[in-house]
Amino acid sequence: MKYIINGATYYVELHGEGQALLLLHGFSGNHEQWTPFIESWTAEHQLIIVDLLGHGKSEANADYNRYHTEQTVTDLVELLDQLYIESAIVLGYSMGGRIALSMAQLAPSKVNGLILESTSPGLASLEERQARMDSDEALASKIEQHGIDWFADYWAELPLFASLKLLPLEEQEAIDQQRRSNKPQGLANSLRGIGTGAQPSWWDHMEHITKPTLLIVGESDMKFRKIAELMMQRMNQPYKQLEIVSEAGHNVHMEQPHKFDTIVKRYLSMRKGMV
């Protein structure tokens, strides 16, 4: 279903009833990455599955400022308000996890729990942020110049996603089709507006997160394992948990869906008991 949110058109799927669970995909993904979990998670929760701007069936706005972290959080808060949802558990993968963290910082009353898969609080120094913005701008320009098929081929060969090649061919093709369903302008402006360099750094604010937080990373994803361990050290709250999933890389929910489902449902059951 399409929702007009602060002037932009978002595609949103709603499934089930109960405590709200907002699902945010990663860069170049869309709502379909959560499809395998709908039946399991709707047993006791209402799922709000969003195509973020520039992705899937949502608008690919021509102004990259429209994608900024603060504006994206404002949009998601407005979506929850339109749905008469007071607060939600927010589950985000990679880019979606960075947005989930930003929601917890910028709109804490709307977040009553966090599930963060393979994500980070951004980059700590201005130098790192500028270097990343420069590299993201270079990639954005190439996407606009060469098109979505070039991007999909390039993205699939990044070392970060090497473990996806261990999946059955049918599943690899489905992931590839998700990437190719995006518009070049949407992905390019997403990089410019809400890339890792462009977003605020939350490293010095991790202690402000007070809601129960679950971190999920793949055992072979060494970069994000280290980030998750550092995040655990920075958080100062009664409930924080890190799950390192064996035989998985960056895309835990795709590479080990049964383990991912079990971990998430365990958290949701715990969170329900705390309410």
pLDDT, position 273: 66
What pLDDT is stored for residue 22 in this prediction?
98
Which 3 state secondary structure label does DSSP give 183?
Answer: coil
Q: Which domain holds residue 70?
A: 2-274
What's the confidence (pLDDT) of residue 110?
A: 98
Q: What is the pLDDT of residue 272?
A: 75
Residue ranges, the chain, pLDDT below 50: none
- The CATH number covering residue 151 comes to 3.40.50.1820
Q: How many domains does the chain have?
A: 1
Question: What pLDDT is attached to residue 236?
Answer: 87
Please state, in angstroms and rounded to a whole number, the distance separating the CA atoms of residues 257 and 221.
16
Exposed/middle/buried for residue 122 (C-beta within 10 Å: 0-12, 13-18, 19+): buried
pTM recorded for the entire structure = 0.96
* 203 within 8 A of 121, measured Cβ to Cβ: yes
Count of Cβ atoms closer than 10 Å to residue 91 Cβ: 27
pLDDT of residue 275: 55
Give the contacts of 43 (CB within 8 A, at least 6 positions apart). 16
